[in-house]
A and B are shown apart, each in its own frame.
Chain A
């Protein structure tokens, strides 16, 4: 009897709840109101909120809401002041002077001064600090404070990506950290910052809650609280989104173009956004090994792969082909490169020019068949891409096998040791065009980024020049040359740049429909949740 009563109660609970939700029209316009809570989900838990020490995505995402840098990017990806009011670059390009905003305070009411900036620079360049980002700041030969609000950084050589490096260094409070070991301090779990939010509570393994910082350098944000729930599995995150327990997440192409179009009730409460992502996926070779030291083999492989098929099959059309290692549509992209299109006949011709002959439907040269292993990590899109590539290579007479490996052993056993033949991998890109660490021939040591072993004197030269050129047009010309040489050489085959797909609940207002170059999350401090759409909030 009790069971029946309970079930009736449950049915009623769900029934009532449902009808209430259906009544709300989330498309209604609403005027700006502050307050409310935004809930999102993270796959991993941050380990340290001092970003220079942490180095993982979850940590820098949270830390970015708590700390400011000297500079930041505006919505068109131009620099604007963050903690700095203005900045001047000397005529010889070797000195940058930052004028800080005055009268600004940390969230504990202590004033923000040049001392904090100097302290942060000293910390990031100190040999005892365990940070992967030190080398950029070690190029600063001397740094000093002229007064409380003027900071000067001097470089030995002009360094074009300098401003970008100052836009990615979170300034830390000296008064709390000067006597601490920055590698291992309680501050990293209980930070005091200057940006829109400060840490409210953190339940390990469950969620992390941020609250609006009344001292925020750019003023208090509209949304009062941000809750980041830790949900390690993407499918579970998606179910939470559908259930309305989280307000936004990034989704995959299948969810974007298969699940949502078939479920009108979801479209009533969730908006989808599509924007160019900030990275690309490629098919890379170990250039130090046969047969990839032969440019004809690389070109043949490139011609044999149908990139549009990969974009249609793996991304359901939600991506673009690229021809230079820059985000499509940005200033640095070289739009004049003529792309190699799918042409298996030409591919065979190139292989035959290089002395390969068909034997049992597989090309071989000097008795060695053209056969190799494609490695990739456990990423469904990359694995599917590898399967499509394998099929196309088989069609023209190249025998490829696939091996999927977990990320840590992928990097440690194969990439760092150079014990691989071909890989399907991706690069995410920084906003500065400098790609010295990926392509310069000096960057081939274990753990460095030029693990494919690319070495081209002209490219080395261009990369060195590009780092020292601060004139934007001249710099663009340098990187255009770099992109076209790279495309002629085909050290890697660009496969696609996928769109970033996001789902955001309609009760969140103020999201720009047409995303600016800096992305839809760029103006999240202007987002708001109208009072009528707020859910009854229970505290944990």
Chain B
């Protein structure tokens, strides 16, 4: 932790993430209006005291929608990455620990998955399902575990040759115990890094899907949704494109900064 504070970029990333996290967590208390409250009398009002980020084409308050959109974006990011990390750790541990034919099968599966451009894979799968945030989380999770699998496997391969593992095996510890107690805790570093970076890419994918109309469905607000709505009026309702665009940029930047910072950190340790 102290090292993160010493690295100004990583620290900035952490602050950004915390800040956006807090805003999202308390969205219902912080937003001045109901995000879905329609006011036909004040359509596309530019930012002012009542609506600090203006209103959209149905007179809804953009600031309130941005706050609730943050909830959606972060929720999708974190749950999707949770799913992919879980799958990645499981498959990576099995492959790295047991080697042999199991390893070959899992790693070839990883190669197959990696050979498909992931965004298009997600697009294709989502097009067949009902678009909802739960489906999006699951689909993003199920299509982005390959990186973690490779990392965990590589860590396991090198750790398995160490003496303390040999010692554990000699005492007669079970496979599960060796994996959970001895191997995993020692390979946490790279997993954390890839998790943090994964959130950034999941936030981007969710925004992309919503922008294309395949993500979160109206009237639920998400950054991608607000951005598509704004596209139509970009010549004069700049606030509809600027704020969600900035929010996505800053969030992704925050996660990337923290992830990179952590990576430098772990690299120095090893």
Given A403-B130, A406-B213, A409-B127, A383 and B218 contact (CB-CB distance below 8 Å) = yes
A406 to chain B, nearest CB (A): 7
Question: In the complex the two chains form, is B236's CB within 8 Å of A259's CB?
Answer: yes
A398 to chain B, nearest CB (A): 15
B100 to chain A, nearest CB (A): 44
What is the count of residue pairs linking A and B with beta-carbon distances less than 8 angstroms?
56
A395 to chain B, nearest CB (A): 11
Question: In the complex the two chains form, is B235's CB within 8 Å of A239's CB?
Answer: yes
Please give, as numbers and ranges, the residues of chain A lying within 8 Å of B38 by CB-CB distance.
313, 387-388, 391
A191 to chain B, nearest CB (A): 35
**Partner of A387 from B43, B219, B234, B235 at Cβ < 8 Å:** B219
Question: In the complex the two chains form, is B43's CB within 8 Å of A313's CB?
Answer: yes
Please give, as numbers and ranges, the residues of chain A lying within 8 Å of B236 by CB-CB distance.
258-259, 262
Q: Is A432 an interface residue (CB 8 A)?
A: no
Size band of the B side of the interface? 20 to 34
Given A388-B38, A402-B218, A235 and B231 contact (CB-CB distance below 8 Å) = yes
Question: In the complex the two chains form, is B235's CB within 8 Å of A259's CB?
Answer: yes
Interface size (A, Cβ < 8 Å)? 29
Question: In the complex the two chains form, is B218's CB within 8 Å of A387's CB?
Answer: yes
**A391 to B58 Cα, complex, angstroms:** 12
Question: In the complex the two chains form, is B218's CB within 8 Å of A404's CB?
Answer: yes
Residue-wise, chain B 60-100 has the 8 Å CB interface mask toward A (1 for contact) of: 00000000000000000000000000000000000000000
**A384 to B233 Cα, complex, angstroms:** 14
Choose among A238, A309, A313 the residue with the greatest number of B CB atoms under 10 Å from its CB.
A313
**A80 to B219 Cα, complex, angstroms:** 49
Question: In the complex the two chains form, is B232's CB within 8 Å of A380's CB?
Answer: yes
Question: In the complex the two chains form, is B232's CB within 8 Å of A313's CB?
Answer: no
**A378 to B218 Cα, complex, angstroms:** 12
Please give, as numbers and ranges, the residues of chain A lying within 8 Å of B58 by CB-CB distance.
313, 384, 387-388
Residue-wise, chain B 219-233 has the 8 Å CB interface mask toward A (1 for contact) of: 100000000010111
Question: In the complex the two chains form, is A378's CB within 8 Å of B213's CB?
Answer: yes
Please give, as numbers and ranges, the residues of chain B lying within 8 Å of A383 by CB-CB distance.
218
Given A235-B235, A258-B236, A259-B236, A404 and B40 contact (CB-CB distance below 8 Å) = no
A73 to chain B, nearest CB (A): 33
Q: Is B57 an interface residue (CB 8 A)?
A: yes
Please give, as numbers and ranges, the residues of chain B lying within 8 Å of A235 by CB-CB distance.
231-232, 234-235
A–B pairs, 28, beta carbons within 8 Å: A234-B232, A235-B231, A235-B232, A252-B232, A254-B57, A254-B232, A254-B233, A258-B44, A258-B236, A259-B235, A309-B40, A312-B40, A313-B43, A313-B58, A313-B59, A316-B43, A378-B213, A380-B229, A387-B38, A387-B58, A387-B219, A390-B219, A391-B36, A402-B217, A402-B218, A403-B130, A404-B218, A405-B213
Other than A238-B235, A405-B213, give 7 A-B pairs with Cβ distance below 8 A: A235-B231, A235-B232, A258-B44, A313-B40, A313-B58, A378-B213, A403-B131
